[in-house]
Structure 1
Amino acid sequence: MKKMLQFSLLAVLVLSILSACGSNNNNNASPAASPDAPASSKAAESEAPSSAPAEKKDVTIKVFQFKVEIAEALQKMADAYEQETGVHVEIETHGGGEDYSALLKATLAAGEEPEIFNSSGWSGFDPYVDRAVDLSNESWAKDLVEASKAQITRDGKLLGMPMNLEAYGFTYNKDLFAKAGITELPQTLDQLEEACKKLQAAGITPFALTSEWWSMGIHTLNMALANQPDPAAFIDEIKAGTKTFKDDPIMKQWIRLVDIMFANGQEKALTTDYNTQVAEFAAGKYAMIQHGNWIQGMVDEITPNMNLGMMPVPLLDVPQVFTGVPNNWIVNNKSAHPDEAKAFLNWMVTSETGKKFITTDFKFVPALNSIAPNPDAVGKIAGDFATFSQAHPEQVKGWHWDRFPDGITQQWGTAMQEYLGKHSTSDELLGKLDKAVADIVKR
């Protein structure tokens, strides 16, 4: 992602969080009605006509989605939509420890066609282009954050609705850092290593690790990709075989970062799934976790008001965070009810009920300028990100893993699992990263 796109996305994320604090929007006014209760007739009358889909009985639209963090809230949103419109929305969630992409492909191959499904952008979206309904003329399309559009646009057509904006680095427990006597965040890998020693000396395990392939094969590896002078050009060269991970100097520094993390994690990291990892971090067992603002809701359920922050990752001795669009809502043109699916998405981002779910229940930073985030809901992780990124915009990097064809990141995840389990050397790890690209691109 080029710097201008990064800064555009950053500006919206930071300014929307901060400006929402003083706005008089519905998200920050008196408490909203319960999502399980029907919207009042008065509220319905106040909405724009485009947000009130025509009532259709005996219709079911199926949503096949991956974001486990919002599964319960999304079901409540679906129930609220049915109460308002009579249209039943069936939610099927696959994520966390499951390979969502593989399950989606298997579902479609079996002839099942959900009305709405999730897809990443860039190359990750390529397998679904022929199924995607053009959403360019939907009322909400003009309100999308500019930098969120390119990853889901083909031939000038907007083929999905960006789900939200997210950022990650190392989410950390400020109280545990204070207990270990860490008064300043690490600015270099040497300082990160020293901070881990202080935590260990205080009886605190520094990192909550997971063996999930997507966490290591996507988010961890993206730290190296994003630090290339021109990530898109570097990735094109890797795919073309004119450059390799094994010979790249930035990858050598990245290996040291990975080694620090893996050497300072919990003993059973290789058998720790995502839900367990987040739950144990939320219980105060570990000082840092490599996730972003998407875990805020899960943490809040276990330990409300936990004293958290987002720590920039000190790779290449320049602390940085990483931001982008995690996924998109795709309307399936091969499904039975694509028009009803479009109506549901339209309601989601234009009705007051839908916007309340997005900002307060999902705890999302919206990808639409027309929806102001709820600063109380997005939490301390996103708040710390906003503070850092406003002060250091040049240290905010993009998300680049979806520039590779599907299948590569899964193999990267497997290679990372082997390295975590000490079944390969660092050189062998980098070689396997290269081989994964070569194997998939040759197909």
Structure 2
Amino acid sequence: MKKIVVIILLLLSVTACQSEPSKDDTKETEQTITLTIRNPKVEIAPAFEKMIKAYEKQHPHVQIEVSTVGGALDNYSDLKAQLAANEGPDIFTNPGYEATDLWEPYLEDLSDQTWVQHAYPETLEPITRDNHIYGMPMNLEGYGIIYNKNLFHQAGIKAPPTTFSALQTVVEKLEKKEITPFATGYYEKWKLGDHLMNIAIAQQEKPDQFIQQLKDGTISIEKNEQMDQLIDLLDLTIEHNGADPLSTDYMTELQQFTSGEAAMILQGNWVQPMIDKLHPQMEIGIFPIVINEKATNNALHIHVPSYWVVNKQIPSKKKKEAKRLLNWMVHSEQGQYFMTKAFHFIPAFDHIDVSESNPMAQTITQVYQENPMIAPNWSNLPAGLRESFGTDTQQYIKHNWSHHQLLKAYQQSWEQAY
């Protein structure tokens, strides 16, 4: 009887050893999970890397490789080829709207994720198709004209302008004090092709109807008043800047602004980390980009620039880890810290406190919460149009075209893209 008991115990011991992996085996298995992320925000690259390291420390079985694109680079130029070859990143971004339709075969359904219930509902519309949510809002961004409060004070400017004629007066006052009004980074096509063009679209009486009528061919950009006014604004910035606008890239523009060489730039709250780095104590403000005398129509343009998406092609094990990371960014204390304090993001989620954010972020948040409407943006336009509009505008700046020729080129670019 004793021999039988001993044999049974020995058999149980051997079975247990075979069925239960050792700690070393478990560690080796967990370390095989590697995620790749495509980060489109060059402004937050160092802070983003720090956030990833913090996540890896809490989740040692996950290794994350980050590639950052942006600035002068086209974020999507090579991505589709990678995905078509099944070599795309595990997490990347999508701007929504028509890009959702274009990229849907590669987008994992995220409708069941816990962050969905906290996202501002209107922010999910551009990335939702047939009641399926394919991306997590990266943040809210607001853009306008950022100005140096100290230089405005030196020029005797007591309040930011609310109309185009008032902006012209601001320019005159600055130049009387020998202060360069604008730093213009028009080397960047995205700045010309989407941020500026969006101003004219948002100024339409009914922006959605305007876009639809362009698609139907019942109206033309050539004869549109707001598009014409937009070029007047473009002329003002070109004529009153301190350097060749086409040789001024994103970083050069910021350096000119933060060094006090220029009083204003057309940018958004995403430049806050760079401003803090280049001039930590700089006092800045932001006001709407004005193109006419209709002050009530002039407002900061607030939208979701892009959405974090998960590659539908990757193994389920990777999908699980990718979704866990996105939830951690939104729900964990560390993730929220990086979002609001390190990235200077404006959260697109109602449960994240922004009371200690920088003044520009607080201003944009307040505007958005008072009127939660995302301004029509370039992502709702035909694919490739941003690049074409940017090229058209650069040709105009080179003085190769007249005022009317630029409007005609915009219309031709629309027809070719649509």
TM-score (norm 1): 0.82
* Structure 2 unpaired stretches of 5+: 1-28
* Structure 1 unpaired stretches of 5+: 1-54
Mapped to 1, the partners of 2:209 and 2:160 lie a distance apart of: 32
User: Aligned-pair RMSD on alpha carbons?
Assistant: 1.9
Mapped to 2, the partners of 1:333 and 1:402 lie a distance apart of: 22
1:398 paired with 2:378, answer no
Q: What is the 5 A alignment of 1:9-158?
A: 56-86=30-60, 87-158=62-133
Residue by residue, what CA displacement relative to the aligned partner does 1:373-409 show, whole Å, maximum 9, x if unpaired? 2x44x32322344566788x59x87142111122111
1:433 corresponds in structure 2 to 410
In the TM superposition, residue 122 of structure 1 has moved relative to its aligned partner by 0.6
Amino acid of the structure 2 residue aligned with 1:418: Q
Identity over aligned pairs, percent:
36
Mapped to 1, the partners of 2:403 and 2:203 lie a distance apart of: 19
1:370 corresponds in structure 2 to 351
Amino acid of the structure 2 residue aligned with 1:59: I
Q: What is the 5 A alignment of 1:190-339?
A: 190-210=165-185, 211-317=187-293, 318=295, 319-336=298-315, 337-339=318-320
2:324 corresponds in structure 1 to 343
Question: Taking CA–CA contacts closer than 8 Å with sequence separation of 6 or more, which of the two structures ends up with the larger relative contact order?
Answer: 1
* SS of match in other structure, 2:142: strand
Mapped to 2, the partners of 1:212 and 1:347 lie a distance apart of: 33
- Does the CA-based 8 Å contact 1:309-1:384 persist in structure 2? no
**Number of matched residues?**
383
- Does the CA-based 8 Å contact 1:226-1:397 persist in structure 2? no
* SS of match in other structure, 1:218: helix
1:166 paired with 2:135, answer no
In the TM superposition, residue 58 of structure 1 has moved relative to its aligned partner by 2.2
* SS of match in other structure, 2:38: strand
1:39 corresponds in structure 2 to none
* SS of match in other structure, 1:101: coil
After TM superposition, which residue ranges in structure 1, 4 or more long, deviate above 4 angstroms?
Answer: 386-391
Mapped to 1, the partners of 2:365 and 2:125 lie a distance apart of: 23
Report the more deviating stretch, 292-301 or 419-428: 419-428
1:407 corresponds in structure 2 to 384
- Does the CA-based 8 Å contact 1:116-1:331 persist in structure 2? yes
1:359 paired with 2:336, answer no
Amino acid of the structure 2 residue aligned with 1:351: S
In the TM superposition, residue 75 of structure 1 has moved relative to its aligned partner by 0.9
Mapped to 1, the partners of 2:162 and 2:140 lie a distance apart of: 26
- Does the CA-based 8 Å contact 1:320-1:397 persist in structure 2? no
Mapped to 1, the partners of 2:214 and 2:204 lie a distance apart of: 12
Are the structure 2 counterparts of residues 424 and 358 from structure 1 closer, same or farther at C-alpha, using a change threshold of 3 Å?
A: same
- Does the CA-based 8 Å contact 2:346-2:365 persist in structure 1? no
Mapped to 2, the partners of 1:77 and 1:327 lie a distance apart of: 19
* SS of match in other structure, 1:112: coil
Mapped to 2, the partners of 1:133 and 1:139 lie a distance apart of: 15
In the TM superposition, residue 204 of structure 1 has moved relative to its aligned partner by 1.1
Are the structure 2 counterparts of residues 388 and 83 from structure 1 closer, same or farther at C-alpha, using a change threshold of 3 Å?
A: closer
Amino acid of the structure 2 residue aligned with 1:335: I
Are the structure 2 counterparts of residues 295 and 268 from structure 1 closer, same or farther at C-alpha, using a change threshold of 3 Å?
A: same
Mapped to 2, the partners of 1:379 and 1:345 lie a distance apart of: 24
- Does the CA-based 8 Å contact 2:345-2:361 persist in structure 1? no
In the TM superposition, residue 105 of structure 1 has moved relative to its aligned partner by 2.6
2:24 corresponds in structure 1 to none
Decide which structure has the larger Cα Rg and report it: 2
Are the structure 2 counterparts of residues 425 and 102 from structure 1 closer, same or farther at C-alpha, using a change threshold of 3 Å?
A: same
Residue by residue, what CA displacement relative to the aligned partner does 1:397-428 show, whole Å, maximum 9, x if unpaired? 71421111221110001111112222211111
In the TM superposition, residue 126 of structure 1 has moved relative to its aligned partner by 2.4
Amino acid of the structure 2 residue aligned with 1:237: Q
Report the more deviating stretch, 107-116 or 381-390: 381-390
TM-score (norm 2): 0.87
Residue by residue, what CA displacement relative to the aligned partner does 1:250-270 show, whole Å, maximum 9, x if unpaired? 212222122112211222211
Mapped to 1, the partners of 2:309 and 2:366 lie a distance apart of: 32
1:24 corresponds in structure 2 to none
In the TM superposition, residue 272 of structure 1 has moved relative to its aligned partner by 1.0
In the TM superposition, residue 110 of structure 1 has moved relative to its aligned partner by 4.8
- Does the CA-based 8 Å contact 1:171-1:381 persist in structure 2? no
Mapped to 1, the partners of 2:139 and 2:366 lie a distance apart of: 19
- Does the CA-based 8 Å contact 1:217-1:409 persist in structure 2? yes
Are the structure 2 counterparts of residues 287 and 266 from structure 1 closer, same or farther at C-alpha, using a change threshold of 3 Å?
A: same
- Does the CA-based 8 Å contact 1:124-1:404 persist in structure 2? no
In the TM superposition, residue 108 of structure 1 has moved relative to its aligned partner by 2.7
Amino acid of the structure 1 residue aligned with 2:91: I
* SS of match in other structure, 1:290: strand
2:150 corresponds in structure 1 to 175
